[in-house]
Amino acid sequence: MMDRPRVRFAPSPTGFLHVGGARTALFNWLFARHEDGVFVLRIEDTDRERTQEQLTQAILDGLAWLGIAWDEGPYHQADGLKRHRADVRRLVDSGAAYRCFCKPEQLEAMRAAAKELGRAAAYDGRCRDLNPDDAGRRAAGGEPHAIRFRMPDGETAWDDVVSGTTRFRNRDIDDFVILRSDSTPTYNLAVVSDDIGMGITHVIRGADHISNTPKQIQIYRALGAEMPVFCHVPLILGPDGKRLSKRHGATALAEYRKSGLLPQAMDNFLALLGWSPGDDQEFMSLDELIDRFSLERINRKPAIFDHGKLESLNLQHMSNTSGSELAELIGPLLIERGIASHEQIENRRAWFEQVLDLVKPRARTIHHALQQTRPFFAGEIQPDERAAAKHWKDRAATVEQLERLRSELAELEGWEEGELELQLRAIAELMGMGAGKLIHPLRVALTGLAVSPGIFEVMDLMGRELVMSRIDDALARLRDG
Ligand code: GLU
């Protein structure tokens, strides 16, 4: 039996978690869950200065919001320093790496010369053939130096799960630095050393890392380690075909969270950025994503970030989320905004969930659901200006209609959707008008909004007392104005 696959998400905490990083994390996680593998979280904080605790925390929060739980970690790359240096020593001892004493000015001149000649590799190899014993003595004497990897001749190729056979000519690749003169490892060394140390079997990451892969493959070989499977997921582009950036809208995951999207909708959307289940199905729960995910179905072509699709998926996920789950999200917001108290919600929990079930099919976001839920709680509401301008246009007539409605409703014995509908339709008929003409101003009175769920269900759930007081408030406003 094959050992359990081990994958990792390895963000550098140099910025906020953006949608591309979140997509990489999600693909790794879905693969791990589908394959019964292990998902490792590793914070790549070699670059101490730019690393910030806060940014690391923001990454952890973002993953938690998406429901991506790590099985191991978070490990910190900085904690692997001893192993990184030991690996570098092994590479030097075997001759796969060498000491380079070139000074910054010399390197600068080499870069300029390479540019002039249009050569990809800049380093001219001048320390390649220094006698290792001499070099060792100079180093021991305190002469500043870096360690470079000796790129072999030939080419480096691998079979990428997404892009297929991928090749690089080694002569286009510099003898790259693996340990800086201050004894800190560079990214390519640290990442391979960690991936070997952590037994990573599949490296799933953004296509922007493809040019690092030949260097990393050479380090694996030189260390005699088993090669992982490489899987480079396609770039994400904006609708204009340019690389996704702030010009296209928010790129930080946290901004999508703040905008009131459901995490399950974001997961669904991110999963479709470069992957598809192979049929037309787009709406998927997290369980379905886990069930259907495979690396083989990741697309080679760049993915297009389509906000419209995100919104439509969110709308569908809102409808499919149970009232009790929504209660967990929206209850705290109502309390935070002083619209309801904890007791008001908990004492009528079943009712609250019914309200959420009623509003959710039309709610584009959590904020929108909150706006639709707010009128069900006592307290004055401010009618939306446009709704009032449209449906309370003729004030005198509206007052007359609402007064009539009020007195008829006051007479009603029961208070239930079906009966309310019959009654309202009867009143409209008596007043010689279509029921709709009566419903619109009533909706503004009850909810302050131009759009709401069916008015009879709204009245049923609001209850007689609140409906009456809302009509009274509306009448007071209309008479005043
Ligand atoms: N730390 C790298 C990044 O944030 C990822 C390294 C990798 O996945 O190999 O881009």
Q: Could you read off the pLDDT tens digit of each residue along the chain, which spans 481 residues?
A: 468 999 999 999 888 899 999 999 999 999 999 999 999 999 998 655 666 788 899 999 999 999 999 999 999 998 999 999 999 999 999 999 999 999 999 999 999 998 898 888 789 899 999 999 999 999 999 999 999 999 999 999 999 999 999 999 999 999 999 999 999 999 999 999 999 999 999 999 999 999 999 999 999 999 999 999 999 999 999 999 999 988 888 889 999 999 999 999 999 999 999 999 999 899 999 999 999 999 999 999 999 999 999 999 999 999 999 999 999 999 999 999 999 999 999 999 999 999 999 999 999 999 999 999 999 999 889 999 999 999 999 999 999 999 999 999 999 989 999 999 999 999 999 989 999 999 999 999 999 999 999 999 999 999 999 999 999 999 999 998 7
What atom of ligand 1 comes closest to residue 205's alpha carbon?
Answer: 8
Peptide bond into 74 cis (omega under 30): yes
Per-residue model confidence (pLDDT) at position 188:
97
Q: Whose CA is nearest to atom 6 of ligand 1?
A: 10
pLDDT at 1: 46
Provide the pLDDT for residue 2.
60
pLDDT of the residue at 48? 59
Ligand 1 pocket check for 42: Cβ under 6 Å? no
Please provide residue 434's backbone torsions phi and psi, each rounded to the nearest 5 degrees.
Answer: -70, 150
Cβ–ligand 1 contact at 186 (below 6 Å): no
Going across the sheet that includes 72-76, the strands are: 72-76, 38-43, 6-9, 202-206, 229-233
The number of beta carbons lying within 10 Å of the beta carbon of residue 449 is 17
Judge if the beta carbon of residue 215 lies within 6 A of ligand 1: no
Which residue's CA is the closest to the ligand 1 atom numbered 5? 10
Give pLDDT, residue 367: 94
- CA distance linking residue 34 with residue 289, whole number of Å: 9
pLDDT at 268: 98
Say if residues 15 and 50 touch (Cβ distance below 8 Å).
no
Phi first, then psi: give them for residue 7, nearest 5 degrees: -125, 165
Tokens 């009175």, located at residue? 445
Pocket-testing residue among 12, 193, 213, ligand 1, by greatest number of atoms within 8 A of Cβ = 12
Half-sphere exposure of 72 (CA within 13 A, CB side): 16
For ligand 1, say whether the CB of 45 is within 6 Å of any of its atoms: no
Q: Tell me if 12 CB under 6 Å of ligand 1.
A: yes
194 lines ligand 1 (CB under 6 A): no
pTM: 0.91
CA angle centred on 396, ends 394 and 401, rounded to 5°: 95
Whether 246 is catalytic: yes
Catalytic residue among 103, 246, 301, 390: 246
Tell me how far the alpha carbon of residue 42 lies from the centroid of ligand 1, in angstroms. 10
